[in-house]
Amino acid sequence: MTLQEIRQLCEEYAQEYQAGRISAEEYKDLLIGMEISKAVTMNAEELQEKEELHSYINATINVLSLV
């Protein structure tokens, strides 16, 4: 989930709440879920960055060991 998608979903939840289709408690729980989603997105991006760096380091080591 991207940060843009998270923002869009928060707006949708606000509309559902204003229309009375979800209760205040449900709305609160959905927003807490969005906070968690934000953390997941950022941590997953960090992990993917590390994975890319890992393969770059390995490739460099392989090249250097050939020299």
Would you tell me which residues interact with another protein (CB under 8 A)? Answer: 1, 5, 9, 12-13, 16, 21-23, 25-26, 29-30, 32-34, 36-37, 39-41, 43-44, 46-51, 53-55, 57-58
Cβ atoms 22, 13 nearer than 8 A: yes
**Minimum distance, C-beta of residue 67 to another protein, in the bound complex (Å):** 20
Distance of CA 43 to the CA centre of its chain: 7
CA distances from 8 to 33, 44, 51, 54, 64 (A): 14, 20, 29, 33, 47
**Minimum distance, C-beta of residue 63 to another protein, in the bound complex (Å):** 15
**Minimum distance, C-beta of residue 66 to another protein, in the bound complex (Å):** 19
